[in-house]
A and B are shown apart, each in its own frame.
Chain A
Amino acid sequence: MSRRLLKGGRVVDPANGRDARLDVLIEGERIARVGRDLPVDEGTTVVEIPSGCVVCPGLIDMHVHLREPGQEHKETVATGTAAAVAGGFTAVACMPNTSPVNDNAGVTEYILKKAAEANLARVYPIGAVSRGQKGKHLADIAELRHAGCVAITDDGHPVATALLMRRALEYAGMFNMPVIEHCEEQILKADGVAHEGFCAFTLGLRGIPGEAESIMVLRDISLAELTGGVVHIAHISARQSLDAVRYGKARGVRVTCEVTPHHFALTDEMLGAPVPYDTNVKMNPPLREAADRDRLLQGIADGSVDVIATDHAPHHYDEKHVEFDRAPFGITGLETAVSLCLDRLVHAGTIGLPRLVELLAVNPARILSIPGGSLADGAPADITILAPDLRVTVSVARMRSKSKNTPFGGWQLRGGVAATIVAGRIVYVNEDVNLRM
């Protein structure tokens, strides 16, 4: 069995209360020991962790669109997981709005087969709540569970009716599966393409008020309370939604929520400048105003936000190279998330590294009931090595994702990924970091 010792890095492992200069011994696919100045046995490869680098449990992105099957021109499981490991993620959970929809074991198994072939990040499929995500009949949830789905969602849309959502929460509760909800009151959203506010008004873009999101968050929290089910609110963007989640948590409802890097890093002013009507700042939910962004940052700091997830939504250049209101919603996120988190959250002083690891690893693993989020002895050796002080210039050309729809190209950020290890195997090393693996 191969042995590798990660020597002398700052180990940030909040699940085990660790934040110290420690060694991590990997044996085969698992973590053997974590401790101070571990002895080096014969046959152990020693990796000296450069000072300033951080060893933490592998990051988990619980909201990713891998687009396969059906939209391989945007992304595949192979390119998406390559982007994931380059972004420091050892695991991703992928959304079911593929073509066909992941509403049956056949699609789930296909995705898992592609993931095994790619052999990079771990892939946890998320199944549909309803057949074809059409909001009428429940999908075969037990079958999806059995095939490997870790949650259900009709992401892209909310679960269509309160009745269906109620039943999904009740039924999925049998398997302890969370229902992940894309919250949006669609009639109120109407044909909106941007946050309803001053920016959208001056640019002549149809608005989507924050309440289009928070109304649905409140519906789902009420139904989770009614049923005792578990609901996870995806990509919260509006301050009203965060208030709703806080209300639910205060009442003891089993509700968690996530925020994307673009919603804590950007505001709707990006619609007008530097590139007016840039379709790479069109996403759903939309970028909101500074008051919303500030509330999300507050929620990230005080614990009311559970997870940072990217909502990685690759779209082909041709699809985005159109009029703003005709372009699809969504941007890529896997390869920029860590740098944005380190720069905008950690270096900005909003949170410390242990909290960041909770948001990016511990909590996603707990919510989805999947392995990971911990460097405990015997845990899978899924490890991310961060370089928090690395000067990063975001290079779209170097991205592994098949799609390049990001507004962050050329951004200069402090902090990046040094290396990514999945099941003891080094799947990514950043050549900009002086790290000999």
Chain B
Amino acid sequence: MKKDLLSIADLSSEEIYSILDTAEAMREIGERPIKKVPTLRGKTIVNLFYEPSTRTRTSFEVAEKRLSADTLNIAVATSSVVKGETLADTALNIEAMAPDMIVLRHASSGAGHLLSRICRSRIINAGDGMHEHPTQALLDAFTIRQHKERIEGLKVAIVGDLLHSRVLRSNVLLLTRLGAHVWVSGPPTLVPPGIERLGVRVSTSLEQAVADADVIMMLRIQQERMQGAFFPSLREYFSLFGMTVERVKRAKPEVIIMHPGPMNRGVEIASEVADGPYSVILEQVANGVAVRMAVLYLLAGGVEVD
């Protein structure tokens, strides 16, 4: 693997499968009475989070701890960033303490690339602006494969705010790479120009996008900034693009419903769907730990897991 994981584009298909296969082994560790292996003992991993995050940060932290790494969490509010330090200076100061990896979450697209250029430590992108969230796409692929035993040939519908979503970008890159048929749907105001060049089908008809789908992936709507600007009201959004039980019925009978979280119930997804039999949303969270263990392990150089 490359030094850093900044984008799904950094990974070959073989590397993606290697991560997914390794994650299977990692999941087993999480089922043991003592959920810890000494694999990354002596490795220092810094979780540098410039944006609030519950799921991703705790998921990385649990993954690091299960692999016995020494972990350090830096959240923006408690750091010297509030004193005006630049990202580059913060990174170099952390770097001076010789960590092995830095897990970065940042509001600016490409923040990880900046760190990658100035740090010796391996950089893992845990979400950069509207760009990418590669470990989310990997855990989504892991979850899909768990249920469908394959990714190639599946119809995957991704619905919601396509324009601002880093989850969308990473997932489209990964799923098209592995041969899935990806459909995306959302109001035209939230469809990025040129998205079809990534090999996806675009439809403003949710019904068309989800018809006979094997997988439906809902994206989060940022309520505060969306309403009145990109669509008239949350009510109207839900009426056109909200995932309801009725709409799920258009998909294949064994469809799975995914969401990267945090969910807005009643905005992009009805509670009956989120909590219903097709929902694998909490499995995604559980799998996130195993997939991140796999990524950390493989990036650290693939030392033996016992």
Contacts and interface: CB of A to CB of B under 8 A. Distances in A.
Interface of A: 196-198, 201-207, 275-277, 318, 321-326
A410 to B, nearest CB: 16
A276 B197 contact: no
A197 B109 contact: no
A277 B110 contact: yes
B109 A203 contact: yes
A323 B114 contact: yes
Lowest 9 CB-CB distances: which A-B pairs, in order? A204-B131, A277-B110, A198-B194, A204-B130, A323-B108, A204-B109, A201-B192, A276-B113, A324-B110
B129 interface: yes
Given A196-B193, A203-B109, A277-B114, A322 B130 contact: no
Nearest to B162: A201
Most chain A CB inside 10 Å of its own CB: which residue of B87, B109, B132, B169 = B109
Interface residues of B, number: 24
B80 to A, nearest CB: 16
B111 A323 contact: yes
Given A198-B197, A206-B130, A277-B109, A321 B88 contact: yes
Contact of A201 (B86, B87, B117, B195): B195
Contacts of A318: 86
A204 B129 contact: yes
A204 B166 CA distance: 7
Contact of B169 (A202, A206, A276): A202
B193 A325 contact: no
B87 A322 contact: yes
Contacts of B169: 202, 204
Interface string B100-132: 000000101111011001000000000011111
B192 A277 contact: no
Contacts of B132: 204
A322 B88 contact: yes
Contact of B110 (A197, A276, A321): A276
Contacts of B117: 275
Contact of A323 (B106, B130, B198): B106
Contacts of B108: 323-326
Interface in B141-182: 166, 169
Nearest to B129: A204
A277 B113 contact: yes
Interface string B63-98: 000000000000000000000001110000000000
Nearest to B88: A321
Contacts of A326: 108
Nearest to B192: A201
A324 B192 CA distance: 19
B210 to A, nearest CB: 23
Contacts of B194: 197-198, 201
A318 B113 CA distance: 17
Contacts of A324: 108-110
Contacts of A325: 108-109, 129
Contacts of B110: 203-205, 276-277, 323-324
A422 B113 CA distance: 45
Nearest to A206: B130
Contacts of A197: 193-194
17 contacts: A201-B192, A203-B109, A204-B131, A204-B166, A276-B113, A277-B110, A277-B113, A277-B114, A318-B86, A321-B86, A323-B87, A323-B108, A323-B110, A323-B111, A323-B114, A324-B109, A326-B108
Most chain A CB inside 10 Å of its own CB: which residue of B106, B132, B193 = B193
A204 B193 contact: no
Given A204-B132, A322-B86, A323-B106, 5 more contacts: A202-B198, A204-B169, A206-B130, A207-B193, A324-B110
Given A322-B88, A323-B87, A325-B129, A205 B109 contact: yes
A203 B117 CA distance: 17
Contacts of B192: 201
A197 B193 CA distance: 6
A198 B106 CA distance: 22
A275 B113 CA distance: 9
Contacts of B166: 204
A204 B128 contact: yes
A323 B105 CA distance: 13
B140 to A, nearest CB: 18
A255 B197 CA distance: 38
Nearest to B195: A201
Contacts of B131: 203-205
A323 B108 CA distance: 6
A53 to B, nearest CB: 40
A201 B131 CA distance: 8
Contacts of B193: 196-198, 201, 207
A335 B132 CA distance: 37
B99 to A, nearest CB: 21
Given A196-B193, A198-B197, A321-B86, A205 B113 contact: no
Contacts of A277: 109-110, 113-114
Nearest to B172: A202
Contacts of B87: 322-323
Nearest to B108: A323
Most chain B CB inside 10 Å of its own CB: which residue of A202, A321, A325, A326 = A202
A321 B131 CA distance: 19
Nearest to B109: A204
Given A276-B113, A322-B88, A323-B87, A205 B106 contact: no
A207 B194 CA distance: 12
Contacts of A205: 109-110, 130-131
A326 B109 CA distance: 10
A207 B113 CA distance: 20
A310 to B, nearest CB: 26
Most chain B CB inside 10 Å of its own CB: which residue of A322, A323, A325 = A323
A290 to B, nearest CB: 13
A198 to B, nearest CB: 3
Contacts of B113: 276-277
B133 to A, nearest CB: 10
A109 B220 CA distance: 56
Nearest to A193: B109
B267 to A, nearest CB: 23
Most chain B CB inside 10 Å of its own CB: which residue of A203, A206, A322 = A203
A85 to B, nearest CB: 34
A205 B130 CA distance: 7
A321 B88 CA distance: 7
A388 to B, nearest CB: 36
Contacts of B106: 323
Interface string B184-214: 0000000011110110000000000000000
